[in-house]
Amino acid sequence: MLLAVNIGNTNIRFAAFRSETDIITWTINSKPPRTESEFFAKFSNMYEPFGISKDDITDIVIGSVVPPLTLNVKKALRKIHHFTPMIVDRNTPSAIVHTSNQMGTDLYANAVAAHYQDYHGKKIVIDFGTALTFLGINDDGTVGGVVIAPGIITALNSLVGETAQLPNIELKEPKSVLGTDTESCMQSGMVYGFLSMVEGMIDRINEEAGEKCFVISTGGVGGVYKPLTTKIDADDRLHTIKGLKILYELNKDSIK
């Protein structure tokens, strides 16, 4: 069984692939930073609640956008499983063509997943993560470019943290655009406000691309926005980690 690990700024997501469609997934917080020993203690018992034995895991792939955590996670997993995980990044070989020496592993994995799965034509991948990103990719695997904006939860936490009277709210669709109390006012801003930006960015990217792109959303809150618009064609919260799996499959023979 392959274990794919996506180390993000907010969460570390694990996905154990029993098959292409039978995927067991869970997350832990990325913060505070932990040592190798702390990760070892935390990871040692993480499989049991999901009915997985550590011996079921035969391969591990890690993608990370948090360099200080990468090595400690790798060492902890190696200590548990007694083999070395594969670490992938923007330089891991695939059919994706990009010219950036700054592309994050998550963006690269999103491009890989969009290209190798059953999506056709030009594509836009919207990642509703710690940052809100839009990645444009052509049908031949060439990356057209990226947009980076503040993530929705990041913006909400900043709004609540920097004001004296605004509360934490549940991120859900309000009953109307114009709110009648603080909670619904904030929900409208966070949901409809960001949705308007997302729809506007899709239109702008389509115009620049010269065609209607196929739009895939992923990330923690992508499922909140997909039902509210016809401009997002598919939502897959595991899109990024599927990209890590594909990178592993493309390169596993080269490391054995």
pLDDT tens digits along 87-102: 999 999 999 999 988 9
In a domain, 41, yes or no: yes
> Tell me: the pLDDT tens digits for 106-145?
999 999 999 999 999 999 999 999 999 999 999 999 999 9
In a domain, 102, yes or no: no
> Tell me: the pLDDT tens digits for 136-158?
999 999 999 999 999 999 999 99
Residue in 93, 82, 23, 89 with CA at minimum distance from that of residue 58: 82
* 223 and 127 share one domain: yes
**Distance separating alpha carbons of residues 173 and 171, to the nearest angstrom:** 7
Residue whose token pair is 């994995």: 109
Does the pLDDT of residue 228 top 90, yes or no?
yes
* pTM reported for the whole predicted model: 0.94
Q: Which three-class secondary structure state does DSSP give residue 74?
A: helix
* 56 and 124 share one domain: no
Q: What is the pLDDT of residue 20?
A: 87
84 marked among binding-site residues: no
* 170 and 220 share one domain: yes
* 43 and 138 share one domain: no
In a domain, 103, yes or no: no
10 marked among binding-site residues: yes
In a domain, 82, yes or no: yes
181 marked among binding-site residues: no
* 125 and 234 share one domain: yes
Mean per-residue pLDDT over the chain, rounded: 95
12 marked among binding-site residues: yes
Does the pLDDT of residue 60 top 80, yes or no?
yes
In a domain, 105, yes or no: no
Q: What is the pLDDT of residue 256?
A: 55
206 marked among binding-site residues: no
Q: What is the pLDDT of residue 167?
A: 93
**Distance separating alpha carbons of residues 87 and 101, to the nearest angstrom:** 17
Q: Find the catalytic residue in 22, 55, 106, 235.
A: 106
Range of the domain at 183: 120-238
110 near 243, Cβ under 8 Å?
yes
CATH of the domain at 191: 3.30.420.40
* 39 and 147 share one domain: no
* 106 assigned to active site: yes
157 near 163, Cβ under 8 Å?
no
Residue whose token pair is 């799996």: 245
* 135 and 57 share one domain: no
101 marked among binding-site residues: no
Q: Determine phi and psi for 172, rounding to 5 degrees.
A: -150, 165
Does the pLDDT of residue 255 top 80, yes or no?
no
Does the pLDDT of residue 84 top 90, yes or no?
yes
What mean pLDDT comes out for the span 212-218?
Answer: 97
Look at the chain and report how many structural domains it folds into. Answer: 2
Residue in 143, 137, 103, 97 with CA at minimum distance from that of residue 121: 137
In a domain, 255, yes or no: no
Q: What is the pLDDT of residue 21?
A: 87
* 48 and 133 share one domain: no
What is the H or E stretch that residue 106 is in? helix 105-116
* 124 and 233 share one domain: yes
Reported as a pLDDT band with limits 50, 70 and 90, residue 220 is: confident
In a domain, 95, yes or no: no
In a domain, 100, yes or no: no
110 marked among binding-site residues: no
